[in-house]
Amino acid sequence: MNPLAHDLNSAIAAVNPQVLEMLSPLGRELYFPKGILTQSAEAKQLARRYNATIGTAMENGVAMNLPSVMMHLGDVSANDALLYAPSPGMQALRDEWTKKLLIDNPDLRGVGISVPVVTTGLTHGLSVIGDLFMEAGDVLLLPDMMWENYNLIFALRRQVEIRQYNGLRDGGLDLDAFRQALTAACAERKKVVVLLNFPNNPTGYSATEAEGQALAAALTAAAAGGTNIVVLIDDAYYGLFFDERIMKQSIFTKLATAHPRLLAIKADAATKEVYVWGLQSAS
């Protein structure tokens, strides 16, 4: 293992050793090289006269550019449009998305959550999460009505075992089927991955407040029983609420600090919320 990866794992273990257990072998091996990108980030903060750490050309503090390119970018500055963005995304965007999360989900105010990481789309975000937390033989619980790309992202690419349970019954969630599937998986595995998607693709169903509380209670109980639970929350259609009975906040709010053995990961994007299907960014 690279010493940088070892240091990262030690830092994670110092805060929550259960999260280190949840990482896939790939996730435990990953690290950020202390090369040009790290040096460039340090230079942006510390360099006073010269910054020669990365291959960009500047003129009077502005990224050199071609008018034929800039004419198509409206009032976006050359520095915002043309310079390399940090690997986790532009800090200003991450900060603004955090503000949006707290406005949409006021129950998260004061809760210790991470600043979002920007990906090239929600599907890419799901794939990154799969790399970090899923390995061959892991069990992933999904309802029978699910987005078919989950098979490609998780079963084909990460070789996980997808177990489906009956999702809907009598006009609502089949909570009994969910609990039974969760209990069975926890009896066999030290780690279980659960994916929740509300409003659900393809059914469009959104959990009610009572159903959300029941799901959170079942997942928390499973974690309290000694199983490491990774809950991946696909909020691709968050905000499309058309019934007063359903949860108006992400189920992430009920899981973020539920138990040390429960890691909740929220993946969302502006794609459907503000009708920008091709303008890809996610957290």
Claim to verify: residue 251 and residue 134 sit in the same structural domain: yes
Q: Give the pLDDT score at 52.
A: 66
Q: Give the pLDDT score at 61.
A: 82
Claim to verify: residue 152 and residue 123 sit in the same structural domain: yes
- The answer to whether residue 126 sits within a structural domain is yes
Residue 40 tokens read as 């460039």
Q: Tell me, rounded to whole angstroms, the distance of Cα 21 from its chain centroid.
A: 18
d(CA 97, CA 91): 10
d(CA 114, CA 121): 19
Q: Give the pLDDT score at 121.
A: 87
Q: How many CB atoms lie within 10 A of CB 46?
A: 8
Q: Among 132, 110, 115, 122, which residue's Cα sits nearest to residue 26?
A: 132
Claim to verify: residue 145 and residue 49 sit in the same structural domain: no
Q: Give the pLDDT score at 51.
A: 63
- The answer to whether residue 16 sits within a structural domain is no
d(CA 200, CA 215): 15
The pTM assigned to this predicted structure is: 0.89
CATH code at 107? 3.40.640.10
Domains held by the chain: number: 2
DSSP state of 57: -
CA-based angle 148:153:158, to the nearest 5?
135
Residues of the chain short of pLDDT 70, as ranges, are 35-39, 44, 47-53, 280-283
d(CA 255, CA 104): 16
Burial of 122 (0-12, 13-18, 19+ CB in 10 A): buried
Claim to verify: residue 105 and residue 70 sit in the same structural domain: no
Burial of 57 (0-12, 13-18, 19+ CB in 10 A): exposed
Tell me which residue range forms the domain holding 49.
36-82
